[in-house]
Amino acid sequence: MSKTKTISARIAPHGSLDLVSQREVGLLQSQTDTRLYRLFRQCALAVLNSGQESDDPQALMSAYADFDVRLIQQPRGIKLEVINAPANAFVDGAMIRGLQEHLFAVLRDILYASSVLALPPESVETGVDTTNFIFRMLRNAGCLIPGRQPNIVVCWGGHSISRSEYDYTKEVGHALGFRGLDICTGCGPGAMKGPMKGAAVSHGKQRYREGRYIGISEPGIIAAESPNAMVNELVILPDIEKRLEAFVRLGHAIVVFPGGVGTAEEILYLLGLLMKPENRDLPFPLILTGPKKNEAYFRQIDDFIHLTLGDEARHRYQIIIDDPEQVALEAKRGIQEVTMYRRTTSDAFYFNWLLEVSPDFQQPFVVTHESMAALDLSRDQPTHQLAANLRRAFSGIVSGNVKQEGIELVQKHGPFQIHGDQEIGNALDKLLQSFVAQQRMKLPGTRYEPCYEIITGRE
């Protein structure tokens, strides 16, 4: 990332941004709402840095310290002026069209969440309000398409994966795409990009011209996982909890590739939901898969789930090793079950209304040293609640690894302390140590400094 190679330009709207009011423009132009401006600037820079490998938001902001973005009000709408933007976002002086769409998608979602709904993220507290908020965000982004048969496969996995693991994600995406299935991921590199690339090839072979490559991100993570170029529908949710709920409301099946703490967080979130009594009869295909070399990795994940959440959790997923075709067949079969269930229950195809997501899975977990130390990682609670707290523990580690505010907290006060029962704490530590050894915490070639400490003995 060289700050000497920059370009300044004025960009017209392109993509799904609708009309913008003068008040909305004023929100980003006003010096009184510096939080909103800083948020937009950070996300805009991350979008324009797409394709450059880095998961350090501080390094990105430092490399482009003189980057700026301004809204220019015009009688017929708005333009964006980007100043000292990364040169790789342009070809022959013109911004790459996909990045232009992503840039205005970020603007659309930040303005909608902050202004149109008049609900800042922290004010959405009840389950119904939060779900309606997410529905309206997805609808405003054009992601909810009535009448379309269920076919969205959410793919989770790490941004820091090996070349062989990445190639496998493409093979699975290729097999899914041949069967007319669309792809939704966290929109970043690695396991979030590979399935989209694979599906795009098979969609082309099948002359399937309506392929959807949906990317769902959040402001705190986007600088570390910039949207990849394959994404043709980008949505930015206000926080990780709403991002996770958007995945499970929008998707019809989930395929999980190898990853680190972020991937473990996603698995625990979904298992926690599916183990709630209200959701136990709800079909939701969940497949864990990777190449042959990942067999031991998934055994570790499976052992951790069994030790912490028990056999019931194990029954909610299947593990398929080194067989992309079987993954695609199982995903398609599972989606057919979902389709029949939603027909029977009159649930919408485009939004999973019947899934019960309670406030403990929705309320934003504010990562601090105090909140991390206070997490209850004991067996003296319902299993789905333990899953929710484990999910929060992983979320805090993600924050300490790649989110700017989390990194700054660790730099100032030292590692987060996580307390737990002896057995649970030891299992968590063992899993995290394996992620470190396999370089799943940071991009390969960078040295990982743990942002956490596991303290066992709480009984």
How many other CB atoms are found less than 10 A from the CB of residue 457?
A: 9
Classify 5 as helix, strand or coil: coil
List of residues 6+ apart from 154 with CB closer than 8 A: 184, 185, 247, 248, 250, 251, 253, 254, 255
pLDDT over threshold 60, residue 156: yes
- Does residue 187 surpass a pLDDT of 60? yes
**pLDDT tens digits, one per residue of 298-344:** 999 999 999 999 999 999 999 999 999 999 999 999 999 999 999 99
Do the Cβ atoms of 355 and 270 come closer than 8 Å?
no
pLDDT(446) > 80 = no
Of 198, 199, 181, 193, residue with least CA distance to 157: 193
Contact 359, 127 (CB under 8 A): yes
pLDDT at 445 over 90: no
pLDDT of residue 248: 97
Phi, psi of 423 (to 5 degrees): -65, -45
CB 251 within 8 A of CB 288: no
Rounded distance between C-alpha atoms, residue 274 and residue 374, angstroms: 25
What pLDDT does 264 receive? 93
**What is the per-residue DSSP string for 320-383?**
EES-HHHHHHHHHHHHHHHHHHHHHHT--SSS-TTS---GGGTS-----HHHHHT---SSSS-H
Secondary element (H or E) of residue 252 = none
Beta bridge partners of 352: none
Does the pTM surpass 0.85? The reply is yes
Higher pLDDT, 2 or 280: 280
Residue 18 has pLDDT above 80, yes or no: no
Query: What is the tens place of the pLDDT at every residue in 244-268?
Result: 999 999 999 999 999 989 899 999 9
Of the candidates 422, 420, 403, the one whose C-alpha atom is nearest the C-alpha of residue 411 is: 403
Mean pLDDT of 159-176: 94
Three-state secondary structure call for residue 291: coil
**pLDDT interval class at 73 (50, 70, 90):** confident
Measured in whole angstroms, the distance separating CA 157 from the mean position of its chain's CA atoms is 10
pLDDT for the residue numbered 443: 64
Weakest-pLDDT range from 230-234, 292-296, 401-405: 401-405
Domains of the chain: 6-116 (3.30.1850.10), 129-345 (3.40.50.450), 359-456 (no CATH)
Q: b/e string for 347-360 if b means 16 or more Cβ within 10 A?
A: bebbbbeebebeeb
Would you mind telling me the total number of residues written for the chain in this entry?
Answer: 459
